[in-house]
Chains A and B, each alone.
Chain A
Amino acid sequence: MKTYILVANDPGVGGLVEQAATWGQPVVAVVVGSKDLTQVAACPGVDEVIWLGDPGNHGIEAFASSVAAIVADDPGVVLAGRRPSERVFLGTVAASIMAPIITGVQSVSFNNETVVIKHGIYGGIAVATTQFEGPIAMQIDGGAPVVGGGTAVIETRSATPTTITVTSLTPPEVASVDLDTASRVVGVGRGLKRSEDLGLVEALATRLNAEIGCSRPLSEGLDWLPRDRYIGVSGAHIAPDLYIMIGISGQLQHVSGCRASKVIVSINNDKDALVTQDSDYILTGDLYALVPALSAALEKS
Chain B
Amino acid sequence: MRIVVAYQWACDPQEALVSSDGKIDFSRAKPTISDYDAVAIEMGCHLAEATGAELIGISAGGEAVATAIATKAALARGLHEVFVVSDPGLDSAGTLATAVTLKAAIDNLGDVGLLLTGDSSLDSGSKTLVAVLAGLLGWPCVTDVMKVTMDGDSLTIERTIPEGIQGLHLHGPVLVGVTSDAVKAKVPGMKDVLSAGKKPARVVSLLDLGVRLPGEGEILSVEKMAGPSRQQIRINTEDPAQAAAELVSALRAAGALDA
Contacts and interface: CB of A to CB of B under 8 A. Distances in A.
B108 interface: no
- Chain B interface mostly: mixed
Given A95-B99, A103-B126, A208-B257, A285 B237 contact: yes
Interface in B185-224: 214-224
A94 B134 CA distance: 10
A65 B138 contact: yes
Contacts of B170: 59, 162-165
Contacts of A171: 163-164
Contacts of B181: 220-221, 223
B227 A301 contact: no
A126 B251 contact: no
B68 interface: no
Contacts of B133: 91, 95
Contacts, number: 284
B24 interface: yes
Name which of B126, B234, B241 has the most chain A CB atoms within 10 A of its CB.
B126
Interface string A233-275: 1100000011000000001110110010011110000000000
B30 interface: no
Interface in A71-114: 82-85, 87-96, 98-101, 103-104
B179 interface: yes
A129 B132 contact: no
Nearest to A83: B162
B149 interface: no
A231 B144 CA distance: 17
B218 A131 contact: yes
A56 interface: no
A167 B157 CA distance: 10
Contacts of B24: 122, 125-126
Nearest to B135: A95
A55 to B, nearest CB: 12
A153 interface: no
Given A164-B140, A252-B14, A172 B164 contact: yes
Contact of B243 (A124, A133, A293): A293
B163 A101 contact: no
B2 interface: no
B180 A62 contact: no
Interface in B232-249: 232-235, 237, 240-241, 243-245, 247-249
Contact of A123 (B123, B160, B241, B244): B123
B22 interface: yes
B5 to A, nearest CB: 18
A101 B257 contact: no
13 contacts: A64-B134, A95-B99, A100-B214, A126-B24, A132-B217, A136-B217, A164-B140, A165-B169, A168-B167, A251-B14, A282-B235, A290-B240, A293-B243
Given A83-B162, A234-B120, A241-B255, 5 more contacts: A117-B217, A277-B232, A283-B235, A296-B244, A297-B241
Interface of A: 10, 59, 61-62, 64-65, 68, 82-85, 87-96, 98-101, 103-104, 116-117, 120-133, 136, 139, 162-172, 176, 183-184, 208, 220-221, 223, 227-228, 233-234, 241-242, 251-253, 255-256, 259, 262-265, 276-285, 289-290, 292-294, 296-298, 300-301
